[in-house]
Chains A and B, each alone.
Chain A
Amino acid sequence: MQLRDYILRRLMVLPFLIIGVSIVVFTLTRVGGSPIGIYLSHEMTPDEVLEIEQRFGLDKPVWVQYLQWAKGVLSGDFGWSGISAAPVADVFPLKLAATMELAAASGLVALFLGIFLGTFAGARRNRAPDHITRIVAVSGASLPQFWFGILLLIVFWANLGIAPIGRSDATVFASINHPTGLYTLDAILAGSLRAFWDAIWHLMLPAITLGYGATAIIARMMRSALVEELQQDYIDAARAKGLAEKLVLKKHARRNALVPTITVIGLTFGFLLQGTITVEIIYRWPGLGRWMAASVVRGDQGTLMTYVLFTSVLFLIVNLIVDVVYANLDRRVTLGK
Chain B
Amino acid sequence: MNSSISKKGIFTLLASAIFAFTAPAVSLANVKNPGLLVHAADDEATTLDPAQVEPGEGGETIILQVYDRLLDIDPYSPNLIPSLAVEVPTIANGGISSDGLTYTFKLREGVTFHDGSAFTADDVKFSWDRAMEMDLPEGNAGALSDVVASTEVVDDFTFRATLSEPVADFLNSVVVAMVSSVVSQDAVEANGGIEAGVPNEFMAGNMVGTGPYKFVVWNRNENVQLEVNDSYWGENAKLDVRIEIGGDPDVRVLGLRAGEFDTIETDPSFVADLEGADGVTIYTGGLLLEPLHIGFNLNIPEGSLPDGDTIPEDFFHDPRIRQAFNHAFHYEAFLNGPLAGYGAFNPHYTPIGIFGHDPSASVYSKQNYAEAERLFKEAGVWDEGFSVSVITEEGNLFALMCLVLKDSIEKLNPKFRINVLAVAEAVFDDAHAQNPLEYAMWAKNADPAADPNFYMQAYQHPDGEWGEVHGFANGYKDADKIAELIDAAAVELNSNKRAALYKELNEILYNDPMWLIGAQEGVVMAHRDWLKGFVQNPLWPRPSLKFSLFDK
B469 sits at the interface (CB 8 A): yes
The CA of A158 and the CA of B285, in the complex, are separated in Å by 27
Determine the residue in chain B with the shortest Cβ distance to A98.
Answer: B222
Chain B nearest CB, measured from A53 CB (Å): 10
B76 sits at the interface (CB 8 A): no
B318 sits at the interface (CB 8 A): no
Determine the residue in chain A with the shortest Cβ distance to B435.
Answer: A46
Determine the residue in chain A with the shortest Cβ distance to B58.
Answer: A83
Whether A49 touches B433, Cβ cut-off 8 Å, given contacts A37-B426, A95-B221, is yes
Determine the residue in chain B with the shortest Cβ distance to A91.
Answer: B220
The 9 A-B pairs at the shortest CB distance, nearest first, are namely A299-B426, A48-B137, A286-B222, A40-B433, A84-B220, A158-B258, A155-B20, A85-B204, A37-B426
Chain A nearest CB, measured from B457 CB (Å): 11
Chain B nearest CB, measured from A245 CB (Å): 19
Please state if A34 and B19 are interface contacts (CB–CB under 8 Å).
no
Please state if B251 and A51 are interface contacts (CB–CB under 8 Å).
no
Pick the contact of A281 from B247, B447, B465 — CB < 8 Å?
A: B247
Please state if A281 and B222 are interface contacts (CB–CB under 8 Å).
no
Q: List the count of A-B residue pairs having beta carbons below 8 Å apart.
A: 151
Chain B nearest CB, measured from A150 CB (Å): 7
Measured between beta carbons, the chain B residues less than 8 angstroms from A281 are 247-248
Determine the residue in chain A with the shortest Cβ distance to B252.
Answer: A284
Chain A nearest CB, measured from B147 CB (Å): 16
Please state if B258 and A170 are interface contacts (CB–CB under 8 Å).
no
Chain B residues at the A interface, C-beta cutoff of 8 Å: 17, 19-21, 23, 25-26, 44-48, 54, 59, 137-138, 142, 197-198, 201, 204-205, 217, 219-223, 225, 242, 244, 246-248, 250-251, 254-255, 257-258, 260, 424-427, 429-430, 432-433, 435, 447, 458, 465-466, 469
Please state if A167 and B222 are interface contacts (CB–CB under 8 Å).
yes
Interface with B: A136-144, A185-193, A218-226, A290-298, which one?
Answer: A290-298
Interface flags for A27-52 (1: CB within 8 Å of B; 0: not) read 00000011001111111111011011
Most buried by A among B20, B138, B425: B138
Please state if A165 and B260 are interface contacts (CB–CB under 8 Å).
yes
List 26 interface pairs A-B (beta carbons < 8 Å), by A numbering.
A37-B426, A37-B430, A39-B138, A40-B429, A40-B430, A40-B433, A41-B429, A42-B466, A83-B46, A84-B221, A85-B205, A85-B220, A86-B204, A91-B220, A153-B251, A155-B20, A157-B254, A157-B260, A159-B25, A160-B20, A165-B260, A166-B244, A290-B221, A294-B246, A297-B426, A298-B425
Measured between beta carbons, the chain B residues less than 8 angstroms from A160 are 19-20, 23
Please state if B137 and A85 are interface contacts (CB–CB under 8 Å).
no
Measured between beta carbons, the chain B residues less than 8 angstroms from A179 are none
Chain B nearest CB, measured from A40 CB (Å): 4
Known: A51-B137, A85-B46, A159-B20. 7 other contacts (CB 8 A): A38-B46, A42-B435, A52-B137, A85-B204, A160-B19, A165-B260, A297-B426
Pick the contact of A153 from B21, B26, B254, B424 — CB < 8 Å?
A: B254
Pick the contact of A155 from B21, B217, B220, B426 — CB < 8 Å?
A: B21
Measured between beta carbons, the chain A residues less than 8 angstroms from B244 are 166, 284
The CA of A39 and the CA of B138, in the complex, are separated in Å by 6
Whether A297 touches B424, Cβ cut-off 8 Å, given contacts A157-B258, A282-B251, is yes
Determine the residue in chain B with the shortest Cβ distance to A299.
Answer: B426
Determine the residue in chain B with the shortest Cβ distance to A282.
Answer: B248
Pick the contact of B221 from A33, A49, A165, A294 — CB < 8 Å?
A: A294
Please state if A165 and B251 are interface contacts (CB–CB under 8 Å).
yes
Within 8 A of B (CB), among A113-153: 150, 153
Measured between beta carbons, the chain A residues less than 8 angstroms from B424 are 296-297, 299
Please state if B246 and A165 are interface contacts (CB–CB under 8 Å).
no
Determine the residue in chain A with the shortest Cβ distance to B24.
Answer: A159
The CA of A327 and the CA of B140, in the complex, are separated in Å by 61
The CA of A86 and the CA of B257, in the complex, are separated in Å by 34
A82 sits at the interface (CB 8 A): yes
Measured between beta carbons, the chain B residues less than 8 angstroms from A48 are 137
The CA of A87 and the CA of B59, in the complex, are separated in Å by 17
Chain B nearest CB, measured from A52 CB (Å): 6
Within 8 A of B (CB), among A46-96: 46, 48-49, 51-52, 55, 81-87, 91, 94-95
Interface flags for A225-240 (1: CB within 8 Å of B; 0: not) read 0000000000000000
Please state if A33 and B432 are interface contacts (CB–CB under 8 Å).
no
Most buried by B among A48, A87, A296: A48
Interface size on A, residues (CB 8 A): 54
A242 sits at the interface (CB 8 A): no
Measured between beta carbons, the chain A residues less than 8 angstroms from B254 are 150, 153-154, 157-158
Measured between beta carbons, the chain A residues less than 8 angstroms from B466 are 42
The CA of A86 and the CA of B20, in the complex, are separated in Å by 42
The CA of A294 and the CA of B244, in the complex, are separated in Å by 14
Chain A nearest CB, measured from B498 CB (Å): 24
Determine the residue in chain B with the shortest Cβ distance to A290.
Answer: B221
Measured between beta carbons, the chain A residues less than 8 angstroms from B142 are 43
The CA of A284 and the CA of B219, in the complex, are separated in Å by 12
The CA of A155 and the CA of B260, in the complex, are separated in Å by 14
Chain A nearest CB, measured from B280 CB (Å): 12
Whether A286 touches B220, Cβ cut-off 8 Å, given contacts A85-B47, A281-B248, is yes
The CA of A39 and the CA of B221, in the complex, are separated in Å by 18
Please state if A165 and B255 are interface contacts (CB–CB under 8 Å).
yes
Please state if B247 and A284 are interface contacts (CB–CB under 8 Å).
yes
Measured between beta carbons, the chain A residues less than 8 angstroms from B260 are 157, 165
Determine the residue in chain A with the shortest Cβ distance to B220.
Answer: A84
Chain A nearest CB, measured from B275 CB (Å): 16
Please state if A33 and B430 are interface contacts (CB–CB under 8 Å).
yes
Most buried by A among B59, B201, B430, B465: B430
Chain A nearest CB, measured from B350 CB (Å): 20
Please state if B465 and A43 are interface contacts (CB–CB under 8 Å).
yes
Measured between beta carbons, the chain B residues less than 8 angstroms from A84 are 44, 220-221
Please state if A161 and B26 are interface contacts (CB–CB under 8 Å).
yes
Please state if A42 and B137 are interface contacts (CB–CB under 8 Å).
no
The CA of A167 and the CA of B46, in the complex, are separated in Å by 22
Whether A42 touches B23, Cβ cut-off 8 Å, given contacts A33-B426, A165-B260, is no
